[in-house]
Amino acid sequence: NVELLKEQEKSDRLLLNILPESIAARLKDGQNSIADGFAEVTILFADIVGFTVLSAQISPEELLVFLNEIFSAFDNLTEKYGLEKIKTIGDAYMVVGGLPNPSTNHAESIAEMALDMQEELAKFNAKHHAGINIRIGINTGPAIAGVIGTKKFIYDLWGDAVNTAARMESHGIAGAIQVTKSTYDILQNKYLFEDRGIIHVKGKGNMNTYLLAGRLVSAVLV
């Protein structure tokens, strides 16, 4: 029975590595279809710029060590700010604030994470004498989250707000954090922004976007 308990604990730990705790609990309770709508969340997409060039210059093993070091630092920030990492896709990283447990400071938490991600990358570059950069895109809006698949299942996110956040990253600037007006409206009195003006966004048309440049107050998260 002790062995059985150990195995149970191991499988529970694995499940919590893949899914948020509250979602894992619902799955264990027998729910096999989980989808929830959220009125307002903040989504961040980040892409490492220069990683493809780097991958041609170093061994696959070294590349993996580098990527693991960067993403582990990002994972720690996710934990620090109570955010939910959704997934990594190659050298891209996706994280969200405000789900599965709704919060009132999801935009602030994501802004803090974005600024800290830039700091982590600067530390990484100094340590390894590297010159890689990060492009970050952020958007706030409604989304649907749920579990898909029965094998290798993941907790994922859908909706126009998610697509727009991805566009903020892909249409962004290396070394900058680009945000939509909806995120800017929430954060404008707490952070420094540069108005990027109107840009043409694929599938969205013309959008007024802003670049998050820094903190206005020392203690943002109250």
* 59-101 pLDDT tens trace: 888 888 989 999 999 999 999 999 999 999 988 999 999 999 9
> pLDDT (tens digit, 9 = 90+) per residue, 3-58?
888 777 777 777 777 888 888 888 878 777 788 899 999 999 999 998 778 778 88
> pLDDT (tens digit, 9 = 90+) per residue, 144-183?
999 877 777 888 999 999 999 999 999 999 999 999 999 9
pLDDT of 12 reads 76
Q: Annotate the chain with DSSP letters as a single string.
A: -HHHHHHHHHHHHHHHHHS-HHHHHHHHTT----EEEEEEEEEEEEEEETHHHHHHHS-HHHHHHHHHHHHHHHHHHHHHTT-EEEEEETTEEEEEES-SS--S-HHHHHHHHHHHHHHHHHHHHHHHT---EEEEEEEEEEEEEEEE-SSS-EEEEESHHHHHHHHHHHTS-TT-EEE-HHHHHHHTTTEEEEEEEEEEETTTEEEEEEEEEEESSS----
Q: What is the CA radius of gyration of the chain?
A: 18
pLDDT band at 221 (very low <50, low <70, confident <90, very high): low
Structural domains in the chain, CATH included, are: 1-31 (no CATH), 33-215 (3.30.70.1230)
